[in-house]
Amino acid sequence: GAVVSQHPSWVICKSGTSVKIECRSLDFQATTMFWYRQFPKQSLMLMATSNEGSKATYEQGVEKDKFLINHASLTLSTLTVTSAHPEDSSFYICSARDFSGSLGTPTDTQYFGPGTRLTVL
Amino acid sequence: GQNIDQPTEMTATEGAIVQINCTYQTSGFNGLFWYQQHAGEAPTFLSYNVLDGLEEKGRFSSFLSRSKGYSYLLLKELQMKDSASYLCAVRDRMDSSYKLIFGSGTRLLVRP
């Protein structure tokens, strides 16, 4: 079964509005979560690393004021796309790192959420 | 810097065997992952290699040669449902965040 959930699975919004996406680890505690963006037929592009209890680390070229990340607990990270524009339309995927190996896979395996498809009109 | 190369597309026949190669360059290697991703879905974990050699898991096997910066994913007894993208991802020892750097992915099409 799924070990990482993401909500919502899809969202359509008007340009200029903000959208919040939640990522939850269901079967383990995740001190570190990652946010990716994926355009059609392209690979995953890491946007930022979300650390529980501290500030997120953003990859080069990713605007931290536009993509707000909050990792308030060991099982929840949120990504808020502020003042969304059509070029922000994409598939956003989160992953959570299982540092303990408690799920029977190698330590530090990343488990991915089902993704959120954002369409900005 | 880091660089990961995979073929863009591959085609194979149902029941056959296919090998998907991945070459990488990192400043400090700390493990290689293979993920499967069906269109419109999130990636799912397939295999992990950190030491040289072959890891076998059912119809899927993954091989690693650290000296050559090379890995491959071997899929046996191909099924139609194996049509998907296969992502090679490397973790850099020099990065304490444990983040993964993904290759561009290989789209595999399995034909009857």
Q: pLDDT tens, B17-72?
A: 999 999 999 878 889 999 999 988 889 989 999 999 999 989 999 999 999 999 99
Using CA coordinates, name the residue in chain B closest to A50.
B97
What lies within 8 Å, CB to CB, of A55 at 6+ separation is none
* pLDDT, mean of residues B71-80: 98
Interface check A99 vs B, CB under 8 A: yes
Q: Quick one: three-class SS letters along B26-53?
A: CCCEEEEEEEEECCCCCCEEEEEECCCE
Beta bridge partners of B91: B100
Among A98, A114, A46, A110, which Cα is nearest to B37's? A114
DSSP 3-state assignment of A4?
A: strand
Per CB-CB distance under 8 Å, the chain A contacts of B101 are 46
The distance of A69 to chain B (nearest Cα, Å) reads 16
pLDDT above 90 coverage of chain A, percent: 63
Kindly report, residue by residue over A25-44, the tens digit of the pLDDT: 998 888 889 999 998 878 88
Q: Give the per-residue pLDDT at A107.
A: 63
CB pair distance less than 8 Å for B31 and A42 = no
Q: Give the per-residue pLDDT at A102.
A: 61
Q: Which two tokens stand for residue A99?
A: 């540092």
Kindly report, residue by residue over B83-107, the tens digit of the pLDDT: 999 999 998 766 666 788 899 999 9
CB pair distance less than 8 Å for B87 and A49 = no
Rounded CA-CA distance B30/B91 in Å is 5
CB pair distance less than 8 Å for B91 and A93 = no
Give the confidence band of A104 by pLDDT, cuts at 50, 70, 90.
low
Interface check A57 vs B, CB under 8 A: yes
Q: Which two tokens stand for residue A52?
A: 């529980």
The distance of B16 to chain A (nearest Cα, Å) reads 25
Q: Which two tokens stand for residue B31?
A: 């493990």
| Residue A1 pLDDT > 60 | no
| Residue B15 pLDDT > 90 | yes
